[in-house]
């Protein structure tokens, strides 16, 4: 039993040596400011728009998926982004989901 614990400790130590990385300096991006032009392709934009739809649903404590509503949001977001690539995706969806 003691031998097994030593093996686990050594394995953990060796694994940590290989997985240790120096802190990366990453630019923090405020998701509310991400513009349509920040996305390389439509799939990435639609994934982000879908996530934002879920974010808004969560803030409203809605736990039901409205397939037609999501399709509407995604179609309108894509159209808005094509017309104005500098607009924030968050703002587009916010406007669409506001009464």
pTM of the model: 0.68
* 22 or 89: which leads in pLDDT: 89
pLDDT at 5 over 90: no
Instruction: Report the pLDDT value the prediction gives residue 17, as an integer from 0 to 100.
Output: 44
b/e 4-37 (16+ beta carbons within 10 angstroms → b): eeeeeeeeeeeeeeeeeeeeeeeeeeeeeebbbe
Q: How far apart are CA 12 and CA 96, in angstroms?
A: 50
Taking all residues of the chain, what is their mean pLDDT, rounded to a whole number?
Answer: 80
Instruction: Report the pLDDT value the prediction gives residue 86, as an integer from 0 to 100.
Output: 97
Q: What are 49-86's pLDDT values in tens digits?
A: 999 998 888 888 887 888 888 899 999 999 999 999 99
């Amino acid at each position: 039993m003691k031998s097994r614990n030593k093996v686990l400790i050594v394995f953990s130590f060796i694994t940590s040596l290989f997985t240790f990385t120096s802190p990366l300096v990453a630019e923090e991006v405020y998701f509310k400011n991400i513009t349509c032009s920040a996305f390389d392709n439509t799939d990435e934009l639609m994934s982000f728009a879908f996530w934002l739809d879920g974010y808004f649903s969560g803030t409203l404590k809605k736990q039901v998926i409205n397939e037609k509503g999501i399709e509407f949001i995604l179609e309108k977001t894509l159209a808005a982004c094509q017309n104005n690539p500098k607009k924030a995706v968050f703002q587009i969806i916010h406007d669409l989901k506001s009464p």
